[in-house]
Amino acid sequence: MNFLQVVFILTSAVTLGAAVMVVTSHRMIRAALWLVLALFGVAILFALLQAGFFAVVQVVVYIGAIAILVIFAVMLTRHAMQDEGAQVNRGWWAAVLVALGTFAGLAFLLLNWAGIGSSLGELSADEARKLIPQMGQALVSADAYVLPFEVASVLLLAALIGAIYIAREKNPQV
Amino acid sequence: MLNEWLYIGLFILVAAALPGVAIFLAGILAPKKPNLLKDETYECGIETVGESWIQFRAQYYIYALVFLIFDVEAVFLYPWAVAFNALTLYAVLEGVLFILILVGGLIYAWRKGALEWI
Amino acid sequence: MTVEWFRDPVNFITNWLNQFLLGWGLPAGVVAFLMNLIGAGLVATGAMLFCILLIWYERKLYGRIQDRLGPNRVGPWGIFQPFADMLKIFAKEYITPRGADVIPYNLAPILAVAAVLLIWAVIPFYNGAAGANLNTGALYIIAVGGLGELAIILAGIASNNKYALLGGFRAIALLLSYEVPMVLALLVPVLLARSMGMNDIVQAQGDVWYIVMAPIAAFIFFLTSVAEVGRAPFDIIEAESEIVAGFNIEYSGLKFGMFYVGEFLHAFTVSVLFAILFLGGWRGPFVDQVPVLGAVWLLVKTGVTYFLIILLRGSMPRYRTDQTMSLAWKILTPLALAVLVLTAILDKALVGSSDLVRGLALVGMNLVVWFIASRLSQASYRRSHPVEPPIGHAPVINPLVDEIGGVLE
């Protein structure tokens, strides 16, 4: 049980605990704040996997933008601060079944993966330095991911236009 | 590389502990005389009227949304910028196309009044 | 041996401490852990203690700009004033409003200060002496800024106060609006240096500083950083005359002191970042022979930038909220995008030619973009503010007002 494993177990426990609190919290604002903790835990997991870029991007995009967006969305609904409604609806048993089935499927797939028993080796400094340029090159090279890259920008554009169209008020302006 | 992240992790703990300990110490040193009137919420010296809620304008949400789109776009561009030496001019133009598509989005948001404050 | 210590103290002390701890028989992993902990503790504590000097410097300078002396009672030149302020704030009572959410309420000031301290983990004080030489340093700084924004939202929500909530939302709207041009302007030195690591960006500024090759990006980064800190002229976040201290209205005692200290430290931290990214960081004369001199050069450049920030605070009136928003979205963001696109295209198109041609082309492009942008903004201003001719005759000139220069009846 080396240090890396201890950190991993602690981080996973915190992330899972925060995720459970997100789902079971009575007040939506509390749930949004627990979500921030869960997202931060995921960022720490990325850092443990030596994917430093993704750890930082997780904090920048998820915590810095999406979590704030979620908090704003919670604020938009009236009386969000005093949300005392029922925590489950009538179909809760179906949800539990689907969740358990998904978990069993994922666990089965992971346990049958060849690399499950191997430990994560540490990248050398040279290899680590080349990771991000390799990814950047892959994003725009014609035989790698340039098409998803450009489609992602179109997707972002569609999201922007759609959200502005829905969210703006119905006033006779432009 | 893991060593650097260990440093960052320890730094997070230290950076959270320093103000935490300071606030805790001041909590011990300071007087504690709560009374009903002191603990009221502040509303320019008068009593609070109505619940602690305000009309949340949708404009805040639209700002956060447009910020999210441009944040994700910028995050996509960082690897592209770092890999600049190995890219051809064509690859640079692909990145520029990415930016231009989202400039179109900015112009749409501008014209539709999504960037106004009022 | 003495020469080694003099030239490169941080690495020298690190190696010595390493040997010392290994000599005690501790395993290598524990030694690494302890070294990192000591390093982190030293940098964080040093930053917080340095803040005391900063508060004094700022108050003196701000006073001088306003033609007054600043603190001068407590100690020679008022140098013990921050200590007196600290002692006072330590002794103030914590008044927690009724109905406040306890954990977010107490977490917010800690997070606000921690977010600023975390930036110091990646700053290279001189060549090879950074806390953690992350190869994603630039994005790390943005990430940590996001944590600071989270602190403001926590403070606003947990205070159970209408004004705190309103102040928090307005603050976040302003910070988000200014983060877009900041992230885009930060992309330009990353592009020119081909790396996100802070030390790499400084090392790539060997021939010429980036403020010469990308002046518009430097300008945008400077302005947006000042806005991110919440300083004048963008301090609508906490302007006393507008929203009565905004999101930190329900905080008293050291919790408020932490927000205050966090803001001062943040202003200094963005000065250091600007010096690193655009003014060549630790680069300066004799830095190859004596690396420690780099820390001195960094301090000088940071001091100049910090002086500029305080000067800006003391000279300019506050922008209205809608003016600040339109500045961010309609002027700075398109400008940043234009500069980014043109820098990328020019840098790649001129890849074969010499550095001088490349530098001149970039400077020229920046000047052209600045000229076009100023013309466009002037034209749009004139279009939205038409000048009416005065009704009737020319304005009367009052000889008393003109001669003495004041408003005398």
The 10s digit of each residue's pLDDT in C350-372 is: 877 777 888 888 999 999 999 99
> Which residues, other chains included, contact C2 with Cβ-Cβ below 8 Å and sequence gap of 6+?
none
Q: Are residues A135 and A76 in the same domain?
A: no
Q: Which residues of C touch A33 (CB under 8 A)?
A: 104, 154
Position C45, amino acid: T
Residue numbers of the domain that contains C97: 92-324
Residue numbers of the domain that contains A168: 126-174
Confidence at residue C408, expressed as pLDDT on a 0 to 100 scale: 42
Q: Which residues of A touch C154 (CB under 8 A)?
A: 33
Contact between C310 and C61 (Cβ < 8 Å): yes
Question: How far is residue C142's CA from residue C122's CA, in Å, rounded to a whole number?
Answer: 12
Residue tagged 């009137």 (tokens): B37
Position A163, amino acid: A
Report the chain A residue with the minimal C-alpha distance to residue C145: A64
Our CA-based measurement puts residue C90 at a distance from the nearest CA of chain B, in whole angstroms, of 5
- For residue C258, pLDDT over 80 is answered with yes
Classify residue C374: in a domain, yes or no. no
Question: How far is residue C343's CA from residue B87's CA, in Å, rounded to a whole number?
Answer: 15
Question: How far is residue B1's CA from residue A122's CA, in Å, rounded to a whole number?
Answer: 8
Quote the tokens at residue C166.
């309103």
Our CA-based measurement puts residue C105 at a distance from the nearest CA of chain A, in whole angstroms, of 12
Classify residue A93: in a domain, yes or no. no
- For residue A170, pLDDT over 70 is answered with no
Quote the tokens at residue C326.
């339109």
Classify residue A58 by its DSSP letter: I
Residue A102 CB-density burial (10 A; 0-12 exposed, 13-18 middle, 19+ buried): exposed
Centre a 10 Å sphere on the Cβ of residue A47 and count the other Cβ atoms it contains: 24
What φ, ψ does residue C130 adopt, rounded to 5°?
A: -115, 155
Classify residue C29: in a domain, yes or no. no
Classify residue C61: in a domain, yes or no. yes
Question: How far is residue C32's CA from residue B6's CA, in Å, rounded to a whole number?
Answer: 9
Instruction: From C261, C291, C324, give the residue that closes a domain.
Output: C324
Classify residue A48: in a domain, yes or no. yes
Domains of chain B are 2-111 (1.20.58.1610)
Q: Which residues of B touch A159 (CB under 8 A)?
A: 69
Contact between C169 and B57 (Cβ < 8 Å): no
Contact between C314 and C65 (Cβ < 8 Å): yes
Identify how many contiguous H helices and E strands chain B contains and give both numbers: 3, 0
Instruction: From C324, C359, C391, give the residue that closes a domain.
Output: C324
**Among B93, B96, B117, B118, the residue to mutate for chain C (most C Cβ within 10 A):** B117
Tens of pLDDT, residue by residue over C182-240, are 999 999 999 999 989 899 999 988 888 899 999 999 999 999 999 998 887 777 666 65
Contact between C322 and C352 (Cβ < 8 Å): no
Instruction: From C278, C300, C324, give the residue that closes a domain.
Output: C324
Contact pairs from chain A to chain B, CB under 8 Å = 152
CA distances (Å), C311 to each of C61, C221, C262, C323, in order? Answer: 8, 17, 20, 21
Classify residue C389: in a domain, yes or no. no
Residue tagged 């390093």 (tokens): C39
CA distances (Å), C408 to each of C323, C394, C400, C404, in order? Answer: 34, 22, 7, 8
Mean pLDDT score across all residues of chain C: 84
Q: Are residues C69 and C155 in the same domain?
A: no
Q: Determine which of A60-69, C124-133, C211-220 has the lowest per-residue pLDDT on average.
A: C124-133
Q: Are residues C128 and C66 in the same domain?
A: no
* Chain B: touching chains (3 or more CB pairs < 8 Å): A, C
- For residue A101, pLDDT over 80 is answered with yes
Q: Are residues C171 and C225 in the same domain?
A: yes
- In this prediction the ipTM stands at 0.89
Q: Are residues C235 and C309 in the same domain?
A: yes
Instruction: From A82, A115, A147, give the residue that closes a domain.
Output: A82
CA distances (Å), B95 to each of A62, A133, A147, C179, in order? Answer: 23, 14, 11, 21
Classify residue A105: in a domain, yes or no. no
Residue scoring higher pLDDT (C5 or C140): C140
Contact flag A52-B5 (C-beta cutoff 8 Å): yes
* Chain C: touching chains (3 or more CB pairs < 8 Å): A, B
**Closest Cβ opposite residue C183 in set B1, B52, B74:** B74
Question: How far is residue B44's CA from residue A9's CA, in Å, rounded to a whole number?
Answer: 49
Tens of pLDDT, residue by residue over C19-75, are 888 887 777 778 888 888 888 898 898 888 888 888 889 889 989 998 888 888 888
Classify residue C56: in a domain, yes or no. yes
The domain total for chain A is 2
User: pLDDT tier at C280 (50, 70, 90 boundaries)?
Assistant: confident
Question: How far is residue C23's CA from residue C94's CA, in Å, rounded to a whole number?
Answer: 47
Instruction: From A21, A56, A82, give the residue that closes a domain.
Output: A82
Classify residue C18: in a domain, yes or no. no
Confidence at residue C239, expressed as pLDDT on a 0 to 100 scale: 61
Q: Are residues C218 and C304 in the same domain?
A: yes
- Give the CA dihedral B56, B57, B58, B63, nearest 10 degrees: -100
Classify residue C215: in a domain, yes or no. yes
Question: How far is residue C189's CA from residue C211's CA, in Å, rounded to a whole number?
Answer: 9
Contact flag A69-B69 (C-beta cutoff 8 Å): no
CATH number at residue A6: 1.20.120.1200
Q: What is the mean predicted confidence (pLDDT) over C249-272?
A: 88
Contact flag A149-B114 (C-beta cutoff 8 Å): no
Percent of chain C with pLDDT over 70: 91
Contact flag C153-A53 (C-beta cutoff 8 Å): no
**Closest Cβ opposite residue C90 in set B29, B34, B38:** B29
Classify residue C34: in a domain, yes or no. no
The domain total for chain C is 2
Bin C245: left if φ > 0, else alpha if -120 < ψ < 50, else beta.
left
Question: How far is residue A35's CA from residue A40's CA, in Å, rounded to a whole number?
Answer: 9
- For residue B108, pLDDT over 60 is answered with yes
> Which residues, other chains included, contact C46 with Cβ-Cβ below 8 Å and sequence gap of 6+?
none
